[in-house]
A and B are shown apart, each in its own frame.
Chain A
Amino acid sequence: MIFLTRKAEFSSAHYYWNEAWSPEENQRVFGKCANRNGHGHNYTLEVTVAGEIDPTSGFVVDLKELKEILDREVVSVYDHRHLNLEVPEFKSAIPTTENIAIAIWGRLENKIPHAKLHRVRIYEMPDLFADYYGEV
Chain B
Amino acid sequence: MKAHLSRRYHFSASHRLHTDAYDAERNRVVFGKCNHPHGHGHNYTVQVTVSGQVDPATGMVCNLAELDAFAQAHVVERFDHTNLNTLECFRHTVSTTENLSVEIYRIFQSFTAAHLERVHVEETSNNSFDFAGDAQMMAGTI
Interface residues of A (CB under 8 A from B): 16, 18, 20-21, 29-31, 93-99, 101-102, 126-133, 135-136
Instruction: Let me know if B141 is at the binding interface, CB within 8 A.
Output: no
Q: List 5 A-B contacts (CB under 8 A).
A: A96-B54, A96-B58, A96-B60, A131-B6, A136-B2
Interface residues of B (CB under 8 A from A): 1-9, 49, 54, 56-61, 63-65
A130 touches B58 (CB 8 A): no
A135 touches B8 (CB 8 A): no
A130 touches B59 (CB 8 A): no
B4 touches A128 (CB 8 A): no
A21 contacts which chain B residues (CB < 8 A)? 57
CA distance A127 to B10 in the complex (A): 10
Q: Which residue of B lies closest to A120 (CB)?
A: B3
A127 touches B7 (CB 8 A): yes
Smallest beta-carbon distance A41→chain B, Å: 13
The one of A16, A93, A95, A98 in contact with B3, judged by C-beta atoms closer than 8 angstroms, is A98
Smallest beta-carbon distance A83→chain B, Å: 11
A128 touches B3 (CB 8 A): no
B6 contacts which chain A residues (CB < 8 A)? 128-131
A127 touches B58 (CB 8 A): no
A102 touches B58 (CB 8 A): no
CA distance A124 to B6 in the complex (A): 11
B59 touches A135 (CB 8 A): no
A18 touches B58 (CB 8 A): yes
B59 contacts which chain A residues (CB < 8 A)? 16, 93-96, 98-99
